Structure 1
């Protein structure tokens, strides 16, 4: 069934909103709700979903604009967005440091300064401040925006090659993922040893899969639904569900193969994690009755939350860090956990609604022009008119 051209397919907004809410719950460890989130049902977690959706969103927002004559403007917009993410990350990092320092000072809990990678800053502020600015030092639970910013910086190259040679581009992207994983190539930390927690050289492959699939769909292509692929994906997802609740989940790797192929490492996006998020996504695509459950009106709370993803994510990160501190000071119980999580989620919805209301000031009573030239688009979730989506 075809939707009106002026109607926005909100399913990507809804999926993005769900990923943001799950990330928020996961970033408050120790609550009873942490055991109910997506990561407990398979190898991947909300971070994989967020990056895959981000690639799809970039294709929606910039795919049609990335044409000869418009490429420079599209590149500048992508890089400006990356700059916004960088600034947001630095500001968020400083706010989070202040939250934990405030708890250490006013609650007389110096142990707070040993958590989420703050201790190096206290011990060696000069070098660590350089590391924060250069993204070489990232706090725990505050490491998604840096990898996303780098992916947006790389996105023009991705868009160019995927637009002309999608299969070859994905093959090169996959080869980069494999080499980075086998030889442990990643941006280094500074001044502490190690790598970025989320390696952009690895995660770019998942981002590009989302980007390429959405560009393919926008050009009239389809995602083939094959019963053998559906069966294989379903078996894999079911096996992953059993695996993560068995003693096997503790094993790092198998058959003496590189961890990137048989392990569950998140930094280098090991193959079992990658296959899991793709299998889950394929099952959603294969069953329109499932994907249509996430189709909502544009004024649905989840659609509004997903539409305002960046400010909601930043607010959610700060709120989660406050909730972490509160949970550490007072472990509480089920009622306390419920209050923390419910209050945090409510504040994120309140912010999204405020931003939506703010953007609508002065627009009431004015009819919006309908772009009748925009045809309905076959999205990975079915048929619908897909409006531009903010990455």
Structure 2
């Protein structure tokens, strides 16, 4: 699948839509999970396994980036590609700051409008309220993050590391996997992560850990592009068994079972910050089955006109839109006593608005494309008896 758009936003006809569809499902699930307390939240796959939509989103993002940049980091092009990647990282940083400011405004507005000052003690807002000067500086420097507003900052961190990943990949895919896996392991064992300035903690989603999943998606999709994933019956059976056991573990709440045997938590725990092994294996097992079972893979090959394809194609804009909707939904849940019926209705409306917004972005891209074509035709010379005219 190519993740590139033409110069004016037109969608390539040969686009493989499967990653768009799975990315859309991840985005919609993130939105639903970010409005806690309603019924749809209990139907998302975080309730049936160790990983959730954040892992799926990062894996899919790694695959998309592999297709977009994997073959372009050649000698003579590295500076241009690196600058393009850094520009994307800056875009993600600005998007993170923007959504954080809007999130603060939504909760502050709710506190004022509904007379609920307790809203300013939710989702890690209180530190900024109590120490505004330090809080604003910390937000800008990514040293303080609000709850449910921590994916884009981690993703921007991954893009800052991407030129190094590309450099390693040009030498050896296995070298890249080895370096990335070592970084993941060291970060997990010694708790290495970007720190928060206003408390003694660190980022909720550690890019030094999550980069391993990103790299696995990056390398995996490029290998699949060359020769496909091998359909190993033993590996498929092990993946299915692992998914089944993890479902039982979560549904039956087997969290009191200790199988650590003194090993580091990153190998045996369920920590999300440092992407512990059980979570990592869960998302990889699911992805392997999707990639190797034809009925699952072919189902996602939907036409370009399908709503899910549109949602996945405009992933950044839709993610920002969904985050703002989710924050407004959280305020609504707090002021209505966390009414699950109202929350469910809001979640359904939010999903519909995601689709409508993606459709609008498609329409906008089509208008821009038509205008560009019209301007291009007008710029062509018109030959007459007196010579070319413009």
TM-score, scaled to structure 1? 0.89
Specify every segment of 5 or more residues in structure 1 that has no aligned partner in the other structure, as ranges. 368-391
Rounded to whole Å, the distance in 1 between the matches of 2:56 and 2:222 is 18
Rounded to whole Å, the distance in 2 between the matches of 1:302 and 1:350 is 11
Aligned to 1:69: 76
Rounded to whole Å, the distance in 2 between the matches of 1:173 and 1:60 is 19
Aligned to 2:107: 100
Measured after TM superposition, the shift of residue 251 of structure 1 is 5.9
Partner of 2:255, secondary structure, is helix
Aligned to 2:273: 267
Aligned to 2:314: 308
Rounded to whole Å, the distance in 1 between the matches of 2:336 and 2:259 is 37
Rounded to whole Å, the distance in 2 between the matches of 1:352 and 1:77 is 24
Equivalent of residue 54 in structure 1, options 38, 53, 61: 61
Rounded to whole Å, the distance in 1 between the matches of 2:185 and 2:78 is 30
Aligned to 1:343: 349
Where in structure 2 are the equivalents of 1:1-391 lying within 5 Å?
6-218=13-225, 220-249=226-255, 254-331=260-337, 333=339, 335-361=341-367, 363-364=369-370
Rounded to whole Å, the distance in 2 between the matches of 1:82 and 1:129 is 21
Residues 135-170 of structure 1 show CA distances to partners (whole Å, capped at 9, x for unaligned) of 010000000000100101111110121232111210
Rounded to whole Å, the distance in 1 between the matches of 2:255 and 2:358 is 37
Alignment CA distance shift 1:54-1:250 (3 Å): farther
Rounded to whole Å, the distance in 2 between the matches of 1:329 and 1:15 is 33
- The answer (yes or no) to whether the contact 1:100–1:325 under 8 Å persists in 2 is yes
Farther off after superposition, 229-238 or 357-366: 357-366
Alignment CA distance shift 1:6-1:122 (3 Å): closer
Partner of 1:43, secondary structure, is coil
Alignment CA distance shift 1:307-1:95 (3 Å): same
Residues 333-357 of structure 1 show CA distances to partners (whole Å, capped at 9, x for unaligned) of 4542232012211222121111111
Partner of 1:9, secondary structure, is coil
- The answer (yes or no) to whether the contact 1:312–1:351 under 8 Å persists in 2 is yes
- The answer (yes or no) to whether the contact 1:173–1:204 under 8 Å persists in 2 is yes
Rounded to whole Å, the distance in 2 between the matches of 1:214 and 1:80 is 24
- The answer (yes or no) to whether the contact 1:75–1:156 under 8 Å persists in 2 is yes
Measured after TM superposition, the shift of residue 97 of structure 1 is 0.3
Rounded to whole Å, the distance in 2 between the matches of 1:208 and 1:349 is 30
Rounded to whole Å, the distance in 2 between the matches of 1:241 and 1:264 is 14
Measured after TM superposition, the shift of residue 223 of structure 1 is 1.6
Residues 230-288 of structure 1 show CA distances to partners (whole Å, capped at 9, x for unaligned) of 11001000000000012323568722321111110000000000000000000111101
Greater relative CO (CA pairs within 8 A, separation 6+):
1
Specify every segment of 5 or more residues in structure 2 that has no aligned partner in the other structure, as ranges. 1-11, 375-390
Farther off after superposition, 50-59 or 246-255: 246-255
- The answer (yes or no) to whether the contact 2:322–2:354 under 8 Å persists in 1 is yes
Residues 5-50 of structure 1 show CA distances to partners (whole Å, capped at 9, x for unaligned) of 9421100000000000000000001111111001011000000000
Rounded to whole Å, the distance in 2 between the matches of 1:71 and 1:224 is 32
- The answer (yes or no) to whether the contact 2:124–2:145 under 8 Å persists in 1 is yes
- The answer (yes or no) to whether the contact 1:78–1:155 under 8 Å persists in 2 is yes
- The answer (yes or no) to whether the contact 2:30–2:54 under 8 Å persists in 1 is yes
Measured after TM superposition, the shift of residue 292 of structure 1 is 0.7
Rounded to whole Å, the distance in 2 between the matches of 1:205 and 1:292 is 27
Rounded to whole Å, the distance in 2 between the matches of 1:250 and 1:122 is 37
Residues 310-343 of structure 1 show CA distances to partners (whole Å, capped at 9, x for unaligned) of 0100010010000001011113645422320122
- The answer (yes or no) to whether the contact 2:37–2:339 under 8 Å persists in 1 is no
RMSD: 1.7
Farther off after superposition, 200-209 or 159-168: 159-168
